Structure 1
Amino acid sequence: MTGMDNALATVTVRVNRFTPRPERERAARGGSPFAKARRGGSPFGGGSASSRNRRPRGKHWTQDYTLTVRPEDTVLDCLLTIKRTLDPTLAFRYSCGHGMCGSDAVAINGTPTLLCTAGVKDWAKRPNQFAQTDAEGFRHTGDDATDEAASGETPADGGAANDLGVIELSPLPGFPVQRDLIADIDPMLDQIRKLKPYLQADGVLATTAEGKVDVFEYLQNPEQLTKYEMLSNCIACGVCEGSCPVFAGGDAFIGPAALIAASRFVNDSRDTALDTRLDAIDTADGVAACQSVRACSRHCPRGIDVGEEMWQIVAKVRER
């Protein structure tokens, strides 16, 4: 580790905060006697008036915290420092702190990722490096500022050399906000549960020619294991769903996380519910809703090429 890596620097953590308004009890209203009752609907969600996309009622504001950090610190380290020394009211979620549980997914500078794997030096930006909107409404990403930082030149705004810049944090997109950086990912978990993410065997006890129990009933070769091994690394963090523009558009789409869970068992040679699993996702709100944007692949913390897996499972459904 070089001396530059050990040097202390300052960074501004800009948090989009939210405090919910207490819910008020309202008397039930009678509906129109002439309204047609809605039946059926999507098995994966409601209609166009999605409660997930409805802006939560409460107080929204942006708060800046300036910290002295080491460049190799993580954004989670910064939030823990804020929580312990500056503002105990700041709310965020984390557990293992090592990228294994997926509980601390947020949007950093607008990109869904995990707090515990995001390094300060990798995500801090100068204010003029953030996307700017000109008079004609076009957004620019500040390429000149990026080139200036890469060349090691002193920032034009006269900032101190040890000022890393700003890191902007907001809740994971596509999910209801509960408080500050805490998003409610229960809708995603419910979608995963609907697809029965567990091995379904035929229940027949395998026996050998001698009539003894076959202890190698579920023995697999390396090729069979390879087909789903990477998919079993999914930690249901929600990063892929927060990146998916289709999922963010409404809760009718089952979402990439649930489809990854389904694909994991579709590709498992031991599972005997292939047709049932494909039927469950072969709907207008299942694989048919995927637009192959592949934004879901960009920042998967477990290295899963989610977009490619989406294409593969869509192909399996169409080949039936």
Structure 2
Amino acid sequence: MSEDAIHSTTVTIRIHRFTPKSGPEHARRHSSSPFGGKARGGSPFGPSPSRRRIRGRHFTQDYTIETHAGQTVLDCLLAIKRDLDPTLAFRYSCGHGICGSDAVSINGTPTLLCTAKVEEYAKPKSNQNMAKATAGDGFRRTGDVEQTTGKPVIDLNTKKASENGNQPKDANQRPSGSNNPDTLGNSTENHDNTSGLAVIEIAPLPGFPVLRDLIVDIDQMMNQIKKLEPYLKADGKLATTEDGKIDMFEYLQNPEELKRYELLSNCISCGVCEGSCPVYAGGEAFIGPAALIAASRFISDSRDEATNQRLDDIATADGIAACQSVRACSRECPRGIDVGEEMWQLTERVKSRQGR
């Protein structure tokens, strides 16, 4: 174990919270996607249901805790819920990256709480800009680093305000709501009192309606997966040997055939790929990579007899045709699936079949 994992460290956990409005439900059209109202035209998923987002109060809340570099972000949230704020709501189950129920956005990156280590995400503020510039994700905010030398760019106005003892303004600071000081003595209201500490910012998984705090509604994703019928479809005929006995090796596969779908069967439907996808928005404009991975798993299975039907089901305007090949879905898959490559392979198979 490294020394960083042995010695404790103080971090600020900044959580984007949501409290639904009490009383009769006040809902409005879920408008994350500008394409949500378009007709589906031949989609196997039927008419687009009216997506609803619960009205309520959004605010950010900071918690300062002692932790270890080797602990997970889930450990931090459990400590907060146990010792500081029992009202904090988040979802988890196995805690080992198997169930996929604890997907959130950490520092802007969709991932699982139980696999995200504090040492990976709790970066000192002085190093956060450099980390963003060298992350290799293809995106960098203007002004983070000097374009030619790669050195940090110092904002003299911010530095001067800091030297004078004033709180510098953060252009990206989210508005915070009022907190209960009797319950949460170390949370912040409209400013950050712990600006010198490393900050881990946690928000709900993007692309999904928020139910409460970090809990999102994944029903739409699960319904999309279910409608693509993710189960083996054989012809129902039992193979027999020459002497009339049932052939026990009817579905025997060679290693190459097994390899084509084996990794895809490890998908845990966590929604991380959909939270990373800039096109997906609750399944309104795009059925999403999670459903397409489920379809690809059986399209790639040599034992399945419904390949043509499955390709027809995804060859729609809101199916594989809506994928823009951004490949952001591949970056954080907890099961190691190259989701973007699978989307590309499906696109090529659909195009090849339509070109016959």
Query: What's the TM-score once normalised by structure 1's chain length?
Result: 0.83
Aligned-partner residue type, residue 103 of structure 1: S
* 2:21–2:55 Cα contact (<8 Å) kept: yes
Aligned length: 289
- Aligned to 1:319, the other structure's residue is in SS state helix
* 2:106–2:201 Cα contact (<8 Å) kept: yes
- Aligned to 2:284, the other structure's residue is in SS state coil
* 1:45–1:252 Cα contact (<8 Å) kept: no
* 2:11–2:197 Cα contact (<8 Å) kept: yes
* 2:89–2:212 Cα contact (<8 Å) kept: yes
For residues 112-131 of structure 1, what are the structure 2 equivalents within 5 Å? 112-127=110-125
Q: 2:50 & 2:290 partners in 1: Cα distance?
A: 19
Q: 1:173 & 1:188 partners in 2: Cα distance?
A: 13
Structure 1 residues 290 and 25: CA distance shift in structure 2, 3 A: closer
Q: 1:315 & 1:224 partners in 2: Cα distance?
A: 19
String of CA shifts for 1:207-239, please: whole Å, max 9, x gaps. Answer: 111110111111111010010011001000000
* 1:197–1:261 Cα contact (<8 Å) kept: yes
Structure 1 residues 140 and 69: CA distance shift in structure 2, 3 A: farther
- Aligned to 2:80, the other structure's residue is in SS state helix
Alignment correspondent of 2:8:
8
Alignment correspondent of 1:211:
244
Aligned-partner residue type, residue 11 of structure 2: V
Alignment correspondent of 1:77:
75
* 2:221–2:283 Cα contact (<8 Å) kept: no
* 1:130–1:142 Cα contact (<8 Å) kept: no
Alignment correspondent of 1:62:
60
Structure 1 residues 119 and 306: CA distance shift in structure 2, 3 A: same
Q: Which runs of 5+ in 2 are unaligned?
A: 27-37, 130-139, 153-159, 164-195
Moved >6 Å (runs of 4+): none
Structure 1 residues 284 and 62: CA distance shift in structure 2, 3 A: same
String of CA shifts for 1:73-126, please: whole Å, max 9, x gaps. Answer: 100000000011110000000001010110000000111000000000100133
* 1:129–1:143 Cα contact (<8 Å) kept: no
Q: 1:23 & 1:316 partners in 2: Cα distance?
A: 50
Alignment correspondent of 1:181:
214
Alignment correspondent of 1:108:
106
Aligned-partner residue type, residue 79 of structure 1: L
1:140 is displaced (CA, Å) by 4.0
% identity of equivalent residues: 66
Q: 1:25 & 1:179 partners in 2: Cα distance?
A: 14
- Aligned to 2:280, the other structure's residue is in SS state helix
Query: What's the TM-score once normalised by structure 2's chain length?
Result: 0.75
1:291 is displaced (CA, Å) by 0.5
Q: 2:151 & 2:92 partners in 1: Cα distance?
A: 34
1:266 maps onto 2:314 in alignment: no
* 1:44–1:253 Cα contact (<8 Å) kept: no
Structure 1 residues 71 and 40: CA distance shift in structure 2, 3 A: closer
Q: Mean alpha-carbon deviation: is it higher for 56-65 or for 169-178? A: 56-65
Find 2:319's aligned residue among 282, 286, 298: 286
For residues 138-217 of structure 1, what are the structure 2 equivalents within 5 Å? 139-140=141-142, 142-143=144-145, 165-217=198-250
Structure 1 residues 22 and 117: CA distance shift in structure 2, 3 A: same
RMSD over aligned Cα atoms: 2.7
1:270 is displaced (CA, Å) by 0.3
Aligned-partner residue type, residue 317 of structure 1: V
